[in-house]
């Protein structure tokens, strides 16, 4: 049995509001020129943490804050590469999961400092592929995590890119959603996740999802990242 309609509407509104605040946070990161040559990855991460507290009173992040630049953009999420200083012509991505009033956001964007054509091409490929992935999800009613991962990695290859992560998204919801979902593969858009994404969680609530796009150009030693809510749109 699902959650009452009114309760689910409130959940949807809360998740969309959390993402809107994440968008505003990232916009302010750009406005304040926080991602800048000469700053270390850790310094940028701390500056975004402090900015989230200043703007929204946010002091919790449901996963570790991630700032990766240059060659570090090829490292998997689980890695802990040496703290890198951002260079004048670098590519850099930010992946933050702030908690706004007990609701999780998960938002990632890639930035290019300078005018390197290869880095700009990688950055500019991310969002269009994300939208293609959402469109495929929306037209495929019973799609599973495995099927969406297979589709988006194949589409990346068709476009000439390597999809460089073992997952393409995950559940998101009330903090901490992992107490509900656990670490089972069905909590991810990933190989082996064979249950439909459109389903109820073990507590009877509708599942909501983040879609991630990870692309790499290993010959040039660069990667990029883009993520946001998959199944919910602002009205």
Domains annotated on the chain, with CATH: 5-229 (3.90.230.10)
Question: In the structure, what pLDDT confidence band is assigned to residue 63 with cuts at 50, 70 and 90?
Answer: low
Buried-exposed string 76-93: b where 16+ CB fall within 10 A, e elsewhere: eeeeeeeebebeeebbbb
Q: According to the model, what pLDDT value does residue 61 have?
A: 74
Residues sharing a CB contact under 8 Å with residue 194, sequence separation 6 or more, in sequence order: 144, 145, 146, 186
Q: According to the model, what pLDDT value does residue 177 have?
A: 53
Residues sharing a CB contact under 8 Å with residue 162, sequence separation 6 or more, in sequence order: 156, 215, 216, 217, 218
- Report the chain's mean pLDDT, rounded to a whole number: 91
pLDDT higher than 60, residue 74: yes
pTM recorded for the entire structure = 0.92
d(CA 188, CA 185): 6
pLDDT higher than 90, residue 212: yes
Buried-exposed string 153-179: b where 16+ CB fall within 10 A, e elsewhere: bebbeeeebbbbbebbbbbbbbbebee
Question: In the structure, what pLDDT confidence band is assigned to residue 97 with cuts at 50, 70 and 90?
Answer: confident
pLDDT higher than 60, residue 235: yes
């Amino acid at each position: 049995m699902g959650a009452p309609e009114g309760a689910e509407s409130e959940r949807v509104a809360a998740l969309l509001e959390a993402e809107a605040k994440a968008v505003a946070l990232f916009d302010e990161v750009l406005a304040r020129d926080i991602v800048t040559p000469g700053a270390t990855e850790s310094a940028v991460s701390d500056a975004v943490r402090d900015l989230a507290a200043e703007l929204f009173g946010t002091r919790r992040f449901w996963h570790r804050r991630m700032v990766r630049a240059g060659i570090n953009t090829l490292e998997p999420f689980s890695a802990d590469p040496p703290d890198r200083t951002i260079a004048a012509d670098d590519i850099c991505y930010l992946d933050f999961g702030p908690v706004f009033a007990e609701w999780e956001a998960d938002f990632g964007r890639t930035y290019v400092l300078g005018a390197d054509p290869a880095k700009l091409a990688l950055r500019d490929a991310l969002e269009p592929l994300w939208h293609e992935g959402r469109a495929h999800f929306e037209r495929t009613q019973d799609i599973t995590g495995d099927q969406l991962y297979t589709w988006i990695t194949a589409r990346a290859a068709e476009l000439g890119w390597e999809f460089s992560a073992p997952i393409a998204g995950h559940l998101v919801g009330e903090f901490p959603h992992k107490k509900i979902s656990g670490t089972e593969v069905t909590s991810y858009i990933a190989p082996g996740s064979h249950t439909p994404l459109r389903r109820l969680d073990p507590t009877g609530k509708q599942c909501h999802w983040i879609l991630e796009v990870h692309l790499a150009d290993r010959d040039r030693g660069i990667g990029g990242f883009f993520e946001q809510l998959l199944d919910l749109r602002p009205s």
